[in-house]
Amino acid sequence: MREKLSIPDEHLRAYVQEHYALSAVTLDFLPLGNDVSAWVYRILSESGTLYFLKAKHGPLYEASCLVPRYLKDQGVESVVAPLPTKRNELWTQLGELVVILYPFIGGERWRIKGVKMLL
């Protein structure tokens, strides 16, 4: 999605605090991605760590969370896996939205045939 969720930022901050014990200093909407049913945000925590928050409308394909987490837990360092909640779950529900938190992987932007990419 290219537009922010209709949920106020303060509500999302409180939700992340409640479910992940994460205090968000900043919550920046990122108008990017290929999933038209998802919204993504970059979170800066009080400790200075960056996180990637995905809120997805519709059903979740659970293997998209379970497999990366399993691989990461087995020592595969190159996998970006969802971070567990306080209840050790890999996703939560916020109304009709599925919310998933990841470590933020930054990079530089580059173009291929006029398309911006983030590495």
User: C-alpha distances in angstroms, 56 versus 13, 45, 93, 114?
Assistant: 17, 22, 10, 27
Is residue 4 domain-resident?
Answer: no
Domain with 86 in it: 9-118
Listed residue (52, 48, 57) closest to 29, CA to CA:
52
Q: For the chain, what is the domain count? A: 1
User: C-alpha distances in angstroms, 69 versus 1, 27, 62, 75, 79?
Assistant: 25, 24, 11, 10, 8
Is residue 28 domain-resident?
Answer: yes
Q: What is the pTM of this model?
A: 0.86
Task: State the CATH number of the domain containing residue 78.
Answer: 3.30.200.20
Digit-coded pLDDT (tens) for 42-98:
999 999 999 999 999 999 999 999 999 999 999 999 999 999 999 999 999 999 999
Is residue 17 domain-resident?
Answer: yes
Neighbours of 60 (CB within 10 A): 14
